[in-house]
Chains A and B, each alone.
Chain A
Amino acid sequence: MRWRTPGRRRELIAAGLIVVVVAAVSVYAWPSVLRHLLVAQIQSITERRISIEAAGFNPFTGRLVVRGFRSWERDGQTPFTDVDLLDVRFRPFLLSLGHLSIREARLEGSTVRIVRLADGFNISDLLERPHGTRRALDVTVDRLVVTGGTVTLEDRALDEPRTWRSEHIEIDAHNLSTRREDGRAVARSVTVGAPVTLEMRDVRLRPIHLEAVVTTSGLDLSLARLYLPRDAAVALERGRASSRVTVALDARTGLRASVTGTLEDVALVKRGERDPAVLVPRLGFELADFRYQDDQAQVGRFELEGTAHVKDPGPRGGGRVQVSTLRASVADVTWPVIRPGRVELRSSVPGGGMLDLTGRLSPPPAASQLRLRLARVDLGKWASLVPGALRVDGLMEADLHVDEPLAPAAPAHVRGAIAINQLAVKDAHAELLRARRVEATGLEVHWPSRLSARRLVVSGPRGTIERDSSGSVAVPSVLSGGDKPASAAPTPASTLPLALTVGEIVVRDGALVWRDRAVRPNVALEFASVDASVRGAAWPLQGPLGVRAGLRPPGGGRIELSGRVGMDPIAADARVTGHDAELAPYQAYVPLPARIGGRVDFDLAVLLPPGADGRMSVRGRAGASSIDVRDGARTVMRVERAQATGLDVDWPQRIAIRDLTLRRPWILLERDARGALVLRDLLTPQPAGTSAASGGTAVPVAIDQLTVEEGGARAADQRVTPPLALDVQRLTGRVEGLSTVRGARPARVEMTGRVGADSTLAVHGTMGALGGPLRLDMSAELRGFAVPRTNPYLAQQVAWEARSGWLSTSVRCRIDGDTLDARTDILLSRLEVARAAGHADAQARLGLPLGMIVALMKDRRGDIRLSLPVGGRLSDPRFDLSEALWSTVRNVAVKAITAPVSWIGRVQVGSDSRIQRVDVDPVAFAPGSATLGPEAREHVTRLAAFLEQVPELRLSLMPVVSSQDRAALEEKGLALTDLAARRLEAVREGIKKAGADGERLIAAAPASTDGAEGQVKVDLVEPADPGPPGRPRFLKRLFGQTGSGGRAAAI
């Protein structure tokens, strides 16, 4: 009832009006107030300018609507976010209980601009803002819907700022709450043109927990630049990624993720370059069991598999090499590393080959164990990485181990083995080395101080050394320091920081080719089957090397060396052996026109002391077999076996040989058609432009004993007609104490042999040192030499030939300095000579017919004995040995002939000691008489004795009737007619009576003269031609004389 009082009623009406007014005003002003409250509050929090077009809030329904929300960057000018509509419905009553329960939140037309600046993001200040200490509200969102969302990411930290957009963002989420964990959400967007889908389930907002699957397709990977260091060596230029990421995020257990996906058209660019260094057409990857918690990351397994194209890193490059296979696996890896992880990487190597990296990664300071294996890596594709002018080709394989704490730099300690197959090393000019395989085992690298290998095996190496036409040895440009050949091998400068040691270097089946264009003909010598073992090799050099080496020289055989060899200074103490090594390939280095072949063997101890300056000593034995010296195709000298034992060389002081044996030596002594000695020309050194021909001081040579066994020679003379050849066989003997040392004691010489088939030769005596004044005391004896063998000479020189006869001679020759004192005793037995046809000139040179001379010189037994002394001073320029010999022969002949002739007449000798004729005294008669007077009888008796002493000569008797005879007969009244016959008969009978054979008297036609006294002229008649060779005398007698022996018939 009290309500019905007017005062109360008016008060109530007024109050109601006020409430209505206030309510109306409030309803009317609330949105504006709310908008200002929101603007002020958000501006305060974000420190950014905010504007809201409209805002509405219904506290009863718990609906908040905000339209036209905009914010700007802190500069107040640049837009930051735009939201067309935010519509949130929540439960107000629960808010009072500390629980923000949103039934639905809808966000439409939102745009967020994120900018990456040089020093961070434009939202960095928002993210780093400290959280309040108040207890956070529980939040539940029954449903969240985002439509038309856009996020732009602008990267101003890049050199060329770029902007990416994630558009059409649609999110539909349910049950997002801090109190339950059954939230789920589906989000879709188009990010940089690529659709991205996110599905979440089991979402709890706090503590955060969710499981999500993010699916992207063709995502532009260049976004990743934002997360890569700006100064990285390689930048991601472009690429697309399609992936499916499964994420489990939990506040307690951290982040776990697994990713499978593919990368396509990925391009990596080196800094400062435009052309991509790596192109990846497609690469599959899988990341499993990735965990991130408490700032530690762990990769359970990461695998890559695909292909890539890598730009050729060489300066000549421009092409690309393909990594056909790339498979990487990383497991149990954490970062920072806190426990061992496993890594496995398998990849093809650009240009060919495979790389395997496996091992365990451990956190420093614990050691990580890594094993790197390379197989068939083509080094040629990486040649440009090798400094200098060298080009290295080959297929490399390696097995390397690292067992040390990881560090950013190169590993300090690497062990293992490296091998290169089909290695080829070239410089700008030629191939320097080729090897089938080079393998270093027991490798230990202590970077950067030491590199050692237990064993370095080089199989099938093949190298070439060349000397050009100027005599310079081409040194690899890498050693000479330039790109041109050097004249000598310089010591490479020791710029290596590493100390190198190799326990043993083994060379198997190597080959070394020596090409020399400095000699004619050019030489290409191949030393094959090179096997070597070198111990203790080091750089810098440390002491001598233990060397065992062997090779097959050109032409076959084997040369081996074992011992110790020092390199600095050069020194050696080694044994060098050779077996069956051919000499012929080194012909170009022999400064002789002769071609020399043969096979040598030797066993020598060589000592080259340090700092020897060219001095060395060699001791041992050496020999040669089948030594063959040729004049073109012809063998002119041959030794079946030459053996030197007790060889003792102190170079360059002396060469001593205890015993030098020549077995079956043979030599061709030929005078050619020009009269030149072929062998002398062949063995005369030529002024060749080779270093081998360079002379120098002769080294004294001493041979204790030189033995010749079964030697021989063939002497041939092409200058005579017909040419002749004579063999010397079974030449055996020795020379003791042969020396070239001036002042050495004379050498004793003993030599025997056979000349032709039937004569013997013996030489003995002493011979002074070859290097000193000529001292010779030699005796030579030749027995039973058939004179007809010299017929070509006789015919040419004296126009006669020997039909038979044997020569024995002994020569004693003494030479002391330049004084010659020689004596030759000659015995010619059964010599028969006959005129040779066609040599008229020779006859003139001889003067008296040879047959006559021979007959005169023969003694009763038919032998001719001569003793020829020859002497003179060899240094006298007027001395001519040949002329001296001939002069002696003439003198001796004159003497030999003069003695018997002097009984019956006289020998007429010309001024040149040549016998011109023999004059025999006539048998004188008294005028008109045919009776021998006392003087005539005596003369006739001497003629008979002459015939007895010179059995081969005949006498021609020519009766002469003079005018005195005619006058005396006329005075006595006798006839003249038979006077000549009677005188002839008187002389013949007188000679026969004295014991001579009447058949050796030949009657000549009578003659008459006006002046001379009556007489019988007597002339010597040369022996009759012995007739055809070999006809026995009894047959001659049987068939009579057929030669031109007499000028008249026998009496």
Chain B
Amino acid sequence: MMWRRSFVVVGLLLAISACATTDPWRDARIESEVKARLVAEKEANLTRLGVVSRQAVVYLTGDVVSPEQKALAESVARSVAGVRRVVNTLDVRVPAPGAPTGSR
């Protein structure tokens, strides 16, 4: 009994420790870096995309003008260190012909 109780306590502490070791600023760092790297994409218009990171899962929101840009944004987010997963909810809104602007 004694061993079993000790084992449970140690396991519980390890579980708490594993959860608690999550860096509260990691998501802020990820958001910051993902936004910066999206901004740096000169050939696409990704400067205004919404980026939210929760426990290293990055959620992308906003509009892009092509499926290629949607894929590019996801690829950029995935390339940032510490990102576990990317949830790409970007909407592709192809600008009307002749419309020079199309970003949201």
Contacts and interface: CB of A to CB of B under 8 A. Distances in A.
Contact of A1030 (B13, B24, B31, B36): B24
Interface in B41-66: 41-48
Contact of B36 (A556, A631, A724): A724
Given A724-B33, A1028-B21, A1029-B24, A714 B100 contact: no
Given A584-B101, A597-B101, A756 B28 contact: yes
Contacts of B36: 716-718, 722-725
Contacts of B31: 725
Interface in A620-675: 626, 628, 630-636, 638, 666, 668, 670
A789 B32 contact: yes
B20 A1030 contact: yes
Contacts of A634: 39, 41-42, 44-47
Binding site of B, secondary structure by majority: helix, strand, loop or mixed?
Answer: loop
Given A633-B42, A723-B37, A666 B24 contact: no
Nearest to A637: B47
Contact of A722 (B16, B33, B39, B41): B33
Contacts of B103: 628, 635, 638
B17 interface: yes
Contacts of A1039: 17
Nearest to B65: A633
B65 to A, nearest CB: 9
Interface residues of A, number: 48
B20 to A, nearest CB: 6
A556 B33 contact: no
A556 B98 CA distance: 9
Nearest to A787: B25
A1031 B32 contact: no
Contacts of A723: 33, 36-37, 40
Nearest to A1029: B23
Interface string B91-104: 00000001111010
B45 A716 contact: no
A186 B80 CA distance: 121
Contacts of B37: 723
Interface string B63-104: 000000000000000001100000000000000001111010
Given A714-B39, A786-B25, A1029-B24, A726 B32 contact: yes
A1032 interface: yes
A22 to B, nearest CB: 128
A1051 B100 CA distance: 72
Given A1029-B26, A1031-B20, A714 B48 contact: yes
Nearest to B38: A725
A1038 interface: yes
A636 B46 CA distance: 10
Contacts of A303: none
A630 B21 contact: no
Contact of A1029 (B25, B33, B98, B99): B25
Contact of B25 (A638, A714, A788): A788
A631 B22 CA distance: 38
A1035 interface: yes
A666 B39 contact: no
A199 interface: no
Contact of A1038 (B13, B22, B32, B41): B13
B32 A584 contact: no
A670 B23 CA distance: 27
B13 A725 contact: no
A791 interface: yes
Contacts of A1007: none
B96 to A, nearest CB: 9
A6 B13 CA distance: 212
B29 A791 contact: yes
A716 B44 CA distance: 16
A485 interface: no
A84 interface: no
Interface string A568-594: 000000000000001011010000000
Interface in A697-716: 714, 716
Interface string A1010-1051: 000000000000000000111110010011000000000000
Nearest to B37: A723
A598 interface: yes
A555 interface: yes
12 contacts: A555-B98, A597-B100, A635-B47, A636-B47, A714-B35, A716-B40, A718-B36, A725-B36, A757-B28, A789-B29, A1030-B25, A1031-B17
Interface of B: 13, 16-17, 20-26, 28-29, 31-33, 35-37, 39-48, 80-81, 98-101, 103
Interface of A: 555-556, 582, 584-585, 587, 595, 597-598, 626, 628, 630-636, 638, 666, 668, 670, 714, 716-718, 722-727, 756-757, 786, 788-789, 791, 803-804, 1028-1032, 1035, 1038-1039
Given A556-B98, A584-B101, A714-B47, 14 more contacts: A632-B43, A633-B44, A635-B47, A716-B39, A716-B40, A718-B40, A724-B32, A725-B31, A725-B35, A788-B28, A788-B29, A791-B25, A1028-B23, A1030-B25
